[in-house]
Amino acid sequence: MPKHDAEREALLTALEEQGVLIPLWDGVMIEPTVKVAPGATILPGSILKGETEVGEGSVIGPRTVLTDAVIRENCVIKESYVTSSKIDAGVTIGPFSQVRPGCHISAECKIGDFVEIKNSRIGKKTAIAHLTYVGDTDCGARVNFGCGVAVANYNGKKKFRTEIGDDAFLGCNTNLVAPVRVGSGAYTAAGATVTKDVPEDAVLIARAEQVVKPGMAVRFRREKKD
């Protein structure tokens, strides 16, 4: 048996003897510097590197990569990447999401599929469910991010921060053009582009007025055939 295979087998065996559940070893790679608490589960295809720590009751994988990440108790991280960030207890992440360096995700947050978070602090019980980019943001607790929200943090020359207060609600496809602040309890309507601060408990509507032209589609189809 090659030396690296023997070392891997010894490490995984030692973790299992300590109470870590690794039901299938396929693709599981854990560096010696990683700390995994008894009661954690590591699923196939997961790679744990650097100074990563995994807390009791957390489930990592399948196909998850953790690099210098601190994962507290009872988290579920599936088919995602977490790098140089801290994830507090009871957080769920994935599938197919990425937490980039400099993030702190507070307890009981839900980070769903196809979400990217970078250099941001996310408050307790905030939900970022799907198809969202959050960069350079200080976000409060219990915030709801609708599908397709994007923080425009870079203007081509410099990056700016965005602030979101507790209990804010960001409608689907909201664009936050940093630097900007959304106050606590404020709502943004679906499709809004936010370029100025939104006061607490306000509702922001920032989109073009809908125009309906009856029968115009019939003429369009007729012209298309000609």
User: Burial of 179 by CB count in 10 Å (0-12 exposed, 13-18 middle, 19+ buried)?
Assistant: middle
What distance in Å separates the CA atoms of residue 152 and residue 86, rounded to the nearest whole number? 23
> How far is CA 50 from its chain centroid?
21
Report d(CA 96, CA 77) in Å as an integer. 10
130 tagged catalytic: yes
Q: Which of 104, 130, 142, 207 is catalytic?
A: 130
Distances (CA, A) of 146 to 94, 137, 169, 189: 16, 16, 8, 10
Measure the CA–CA gap between 202 and 164, rounded to whole angstroms. Answer: 13
* Phi (first) and psi of residue 17, to 5 degrees: -65, -25
**Whether the Cβ atoms of residue 64 and residue 49 lie closer than 8 Å to each other:** no
Q: Which residues are part of the catalytic machinery?
A: 130
